[in-house]
Structure 1
């Protein structure tokens, strides 16, 4: 391993230890290569992540090695790091790293962070959720062409409701559709809106899209994972590199690229050139109203629908159905 190097990033000196440690074995990119990637996409990266708490996915030996999630910044971290107190569903609090500037990103990479999972809140006002995140998840038997179709249908519905949305690859097998929200709603309201969106998509396209939380009921349909909008949940960040051997990036794309994009080709080796050539596809996002989706939610509740199931780590919620898979309920 070579000696440490010190970089000046946004006015802060960050020391990078073992800069030539290989993080991505497919092409041999190193820890320093990953930091250089984030420097190359710093503008759009900080526009998407800036000011938000981060959950760190650490791979000290690089992609493919052992890993763990880090919720809290240790007391031995540099004094210049910005943190904020966040809570888990059971109320446990921790000091989370804030994406304050590029120096904070580089510090985390130096700790072996190969995955930034981003809160839908700003550190300055954690009570407000200002992003709707529609996670389109492939069920068994569902390929990327079906995901493309589901993303287009999601956009079509949101357009009909007057909500402008944008799309990115997940860096893995899925697609994420985002809408920036006006700072008026909390995580419970945003999740209710996501449930309503998923159910309406299923009503309109029952053979292609499902809102079923239980895997045994989904079939070969694209699942709209509404619970990614539950309070305290994070989603893999835009422009962030996944801990995969090829260093795939969760990449914002234009809607006009949806039909042709090949997610595995979007890597830390290729994305900087895309940004230099095309700019930021999310650069013109503006805050939207959640009210059309909340009105759908109110109509569903008035018709007698119960809330959708919550993940098991959450306390039982009002109007939630039994938190048990249908097949198991029948056996009981």
Structure 2
């Protein structure tokens, strides 16, 4: 998979037919146990197969922490090969306002470790491949904790999500976010664009709220959510990225956004899924997402929920503020502000 040679301030790893330099390999990145930059690189070597199955061939947004996990960070979308690394692969991506840039493609593990050497903690992954940017082949159901929401409530919302997907004949695959939430992924046939996938996500969020309004909300406006789990449908808006599976968070404990099996839901604890534990867990139990790549599915059962809502007269849900006004979207104003606005 990869071997290291070198001394002093540079470690050279032979990965995917490339030589990737890890500068300052002994630099402590995670303070809780003292893991270093080289430890982070070795973690990704240990989870290489599942990592590449999840994000291989996709554009990624890099979140860089030059001073380690507890230091300042910045996002880097624009990437360019250098004279030292001419093999670095990029692809053109677009922002909601149409600005384009060349983003890194996770073409192989060498590209991942190249980014690690830049201090990347967290790969934010596009739901498209570089080879087919017109079609979103992943639906990401983001179960987001509002203030006052416990992880037990997130687990319960995930169970409701699975029950709905099971009813519709759709297979979903869960992972921790590496923080306080859970993501459920549905791998799709590459036949739908991001607008259609977001419409399906809006319909899922609304259906879950109907079933468990005490626990789950589809309200975009924070003032309406209360202490409920928010299903963040806008994580599926075109050009949005989501923190990638198997990625290590910028956390002193080096928590991992770790895939898990549905049978583990009742006991899964994000605090126990770290750079120190996930490789052994993978070696012992295998990749819980292994069937996902071969299980490309139709979006139609979820779009049918969307069509039902449209027929019932429901408007589109609000889009994020960085997006242009979209067809069928209601006024993009918080309900409390709308109530205060003078009548015409």
| TM-score of the alignment, normalized to the shorter chain, above 0.5 | yes
Partner of 2:70: 64
Partner of 2:336: 327
Unaligned runs of 5+ in 2: 1-6
CA contact (8 A) 2:317 2:330 kept: yes
* Regions of 4+ moved over 3 Å: 74-77
Matched residue SS, 1:96: strand
Matched residue SS, 2:121: strand
| Alignment of structure 1 residues 226-265 onto 2, 5 Å | 226-265=233-272
Matched residue SS, 1:313: coil
Unaligned runs of 5+ in 1: none
| Alignment of structure 1 residues 84-99 onto 2, 5 Å | 84-99=91-106
Displacement of 1:288 in angstroms is 1.1
Partner of 1:266: 273
Partner of 2:199: 192
CA contact (8 A) 1:2 1:20 kept: no
1:32 to 29, 35, 38: 38
Aligned residues: 332
| Alignment of structure 1 residues 21-170 onto 2, 5 Å | 21-74=27-80, 76=82, 78-170=85-177
Displacement of 1:139 in angstroms is 1.0
Displacement of 1:75 in angstroms is 5.3
Displacement of 1:74 in angstroms is 3.2
TM-score, structure 1 as length reference: 0.99
| Separation of aligned partners in 1, 2:13 and 2:304 | 50
Displacement of 1:76 in angstroms is 3.4
CA RMSD of superposed structures (Å): 1.0
Displacement of 1:249 in angstroms is 0.1
1:25-75: CA deviation from partner (whole Å, max 9, x where unpaired): 111100000000000000100000100000000000100101000001035
TM-score, structure 2 as length reference: 0.95
Displacement of 1:23 in angstroms is 0.6
Displacement of 1:227 in angstroms is 0.2
